[in-house]
Every structure is written in structure tokens, then in C-alpha cells.
Amino acid sequence: MIFDRNEKKEVIALLGAGSMGTAIVRRIAAGRKILLGDISEKSLEKVSHDFKYSGYDVETMIVNALDKSSVEAFAQKAASLGDVKYFIDTAGASPNQAKPEHILALDMVGTGYAVDAFGKVMAKGGAGLIVASQTGYMYPIPYETELEILNTPTEKLMDLPFIRETAMQRSGIAYMIAKRVNQLQAQKAAATTWKARRARINTISPGVIVTPLAYDEFAAAGEGYQKMVDASAAERCGTSDEIAEAGAFLLGEHAGFITGTDLLIDGGVIASIRTGVYKLH
Ligand SMILES: NC(=O)c1ccc[n+]([C@@H]2O[C@H](COP(=O)([O-])OP(=O)(O)OC[C@H]3O[C@@H](n4cnc5c(N)ncnc54)[C@H](O)[C@@H]3O)[C@@H](O)[C@H]2O)c1
């Protein structure tokens, strides 16, 4: 049985085939070709099985987001399948899953590799989405330092004094800084490499979203998360489907005038912190 006779399909590439990433892809996948990249073969098998048996055209590739050449090969593979219209990056590790070095290498540098690599293959009119985090709003970086970060090539980010001295202190700080850098990386690409290909790129900064990654966080620091969520306007955690809804909008044609920006989706956590209703310890 041939489900779809269309040969020239637009390509959606997802790096990090986890909970939020797959929810976003599912929203836009009909009639398109999906390329899933992840370091976990087991996850790829499970996710591609679910996509396949839901009627979608899917391929997989083992990709290590820490490795520049692996990420570049992933971008090349996507381009070999057709016009790369969508790129979504959700590969990441959270504070209680890893040491500062790993978080910075994956969430900051790895994301930079992906933004750079897909900035060479995106099709005209394409769109990218990087999943950052509400924590990108929790550790303000001085303006001059942000400019330095913006002007530093991805490979050299780890050498910056601010990263070596401040970000390396603890996993929590590394994560907050990495996620702010993601917002800057998307801004920079929107104005330069992605602009040159007439493609858009944005970030979403989710709050506490119930996923396997979040379960690891709750197990290690549940009390803090509980207080933060209770103090927020929504008084609840979010779901991957809510992030996917916004992701589909940002990737879609109705968002054609939106590039280089961040959408904070946190149930009001940052509002309660900024206004002093909730104090981060
Ligand atoms: N869940 C939350 O509360 C939350 C909140 C804000 C931001 N985020 C961020 O959203 C993104 C997605 O998180 P999620 O909750 O969907 O998590 P998830 O664990 O479901 O997905 C993350 C995926 O990244 C993959 N990955 C890890 N290391 C990799 C590597 N080296 N190379 C390639 N793939 C790798 C994992 O195998 C996994 O499939 C992450 O960047 C996370 O930091 C999560």
C-alpha cells in the first residue's frame, strides 16, 4: 500500500527526538518528510515507530549534538532528502542531569553547531525553532558580555572568560546561561546566515513542562519547582502539546513576519519573579 505518492516533499528535521520535539513535529508533519536525529538509538526506534504507524513518512539518523561533524552530516542528510523547510532543535540536558561542562557543551555549543549547520541548508521561506527555556530570563547577562557572545564563533564560546568563570560554577547557572545564549544565537542567525537564505528562526522558552527530562528535575529538586509553579499565574505545569501549538504557529506561514525573537511560555513564572511575587533563592 502506498500511502503518499508525492515524491518532492518538504523536509522537517528534528534534532533531539524527545517529548517536546516530537509533539511539535506531529503538528506540522502531514504530507512532509520527517528526519529525526538523536543520540539515543532506542528513542529513535520508538519515536519513528509511532510516527510510521500514524501515517507519517519518517527517517532516522544517530546524531551527537556535541559533535560538530555529526551535526553537519545531519544537516547534509536533511538537504539530500529535499527542501529543508523546517528545523527544530530540542536536544538538551537539564541541570540535574549533567555537570556544567556537559550542559554548556550540549545546550549552548551543540545548539550553536546546529544553527550554523542548518544556516547553510535551509530552503527559502523555511523556518527554524530552538527550544530554549524560561531559565534564559533568570540570570541576566551584562549587555557588553552579550555582545561579546554574539560576536564569538560557536567553537570559541567555551573559551570566553564569562563562560569559563561564571557559567562553570554550577549546573543550574550553566543551564540558565546556555538558554539565554540560545535566544542570542537565534537572533544572530535571524539577522545574518538564516536571513541570507530568506529563512526565519525563533526560540521558544518553555516553563516547567512535564516530560521525562522534567521528571529527572522533580526527583532531584521537586520542592523548588513546586513553589515556583504554585506562585505562578497558571498554578500548574505545562504540557508538550501546549509548546507544540505555539511551535506550529511560529514555524507556519502566519508567522512570516516573526524572526529573531523569543516566545516565553511559562504560565507566568517569570512574571511572578520579575515582580517580586516569587523570589528565586
Ligand atoms: N521539560 C521542561 O520542563 C523544559 C523546560 C524548558 C526547557 N526545556 C528544554 O527543552 C528541550 C527538550 O526537552 P524535553 O523536556 O522535550 O526533553 P527530552 O528529554 O524528552 O528530549 C531531549 C532529547 O535530546 C536528546 N539528546 C540528549 N543529548 C543528545 C546529544 N548529545 N545529541 C543528540 N540528542 C541528544 C535526548 O536523547 C532526548 O531525546 C531541552 O533543551 C530542554 O532543556 C525543557
- Cβ(222)–Cβ(281) below 8 Å: no
Alpha carbon distance 83, 129 (integer Å): 17
Instruction: Read off the pLDDT band of 222 (50, 70, 90).
Output: confident
Q: Is 44 in the pocket of ligand 1 (CB under 6 A)?
A: no
Alpha carbon distance 35, 83 (integer Å): 12
Atom of ligand 1 nearest to the CA of 21: 16
What pLDDT, on a 0 to 100 scale, did the predictor assign at position 175? 98
Q: Is 247 exposed, middle or buried (0-12, 13-18, 19+ CB in 10 A)?
A: buried
pLDDT score of 217 more than 90? no
Using the mean position of ligand 1's atoms as its centre, give its distance from the Cα of residue 240 in Å.
12
Q: Is 131 in the pocket of ligand 1 (CB under 6 A)?
A: yes
Q: How far is CA 23 from CA 1, 90, 116, in A?
A: 26, 11, 24
pLDDT tens for residues 57-105?
999 999 999 999 999 999 999 999 999 999 999 999 999 899 999 999 9
The pLDDT of 227-243, averaged and rounded, is: 97
Mean pLDDT of the chain: 97
- Cβ(15)–Cβ(88) below 8 Å: yes
Q: Is 193 in the pocket of ligand 1 (CB under 6 A)?
A: no
Cα-atom radius of gyration of the chain, to the nearest Å? Answer: 18
Using the mean position of ligand 1's atoms as its centre, give its distance from the Cα of residue 69 in Å.
20
Which run of H or E residues covers position 163?
none
Atom of ligand 1 nearest to the CA of 106: 31
Which of 48-52, 141-145, 277-281 has the least mean pLDDT? 277-281
Q: Which of 211, 216, 237 to mutate to test the pocket of ligand 1 (most atoms within 8 A of CB)?
A: 211
Residue with the bigger pLDDT between 87 and 225: it is 87
pLDDT score of 220 more than 90? no
The pLDDT of 14-29, averaged and rounded, is: 98
Residues near 228 by beta carbon (within 8 Å), at least 6 away in sequence: 208, 269, 278, 280
Query: What type of residue is 29?
Result: A
Instruction: Read off the pLDDT band of 254 (50, 70, 90).
Output: very high
DSSP 234: S
Instruction: Read off the pLDDT band of 234 (50, 70, 90).
Output: very high
Which run of H or E residues covers position 265?
strand 262-265
Confidence (pTM): 0.98
The yes or no reply on domain 11-207+240-266 and CATH 3.40.50.720 is yes
Atom of ligand 1 nearest to the CA of 91: 24
- Cβ(50)–Cβ(62) below 8 Å: no
- Name the strands in the sheet holding 262-265, side by side, starting at the edge strand that comes first in the sequence: 57-62, 33-38, 11-15, 84-89, 122-131, 200-206, 262-265
Instruction: Read off the pLDDT band of 221 (50, 70, 90).
Output: confident
Taking CA atoms only, the protein residue closest to ligand 1 atom 7 is: 133
Taking CA atoms only, the protein residue closest to ligand 1 atom 17 is: 213
Q: Please report, for the chain, the start and end positions of each structural domain, with discontinuous segments joined by +.
A: 11-207+240-266
| Most distant CA atoms of the chain, gap in Å | 60
**Grid cell 557559567 in the structure block, residue:** 167
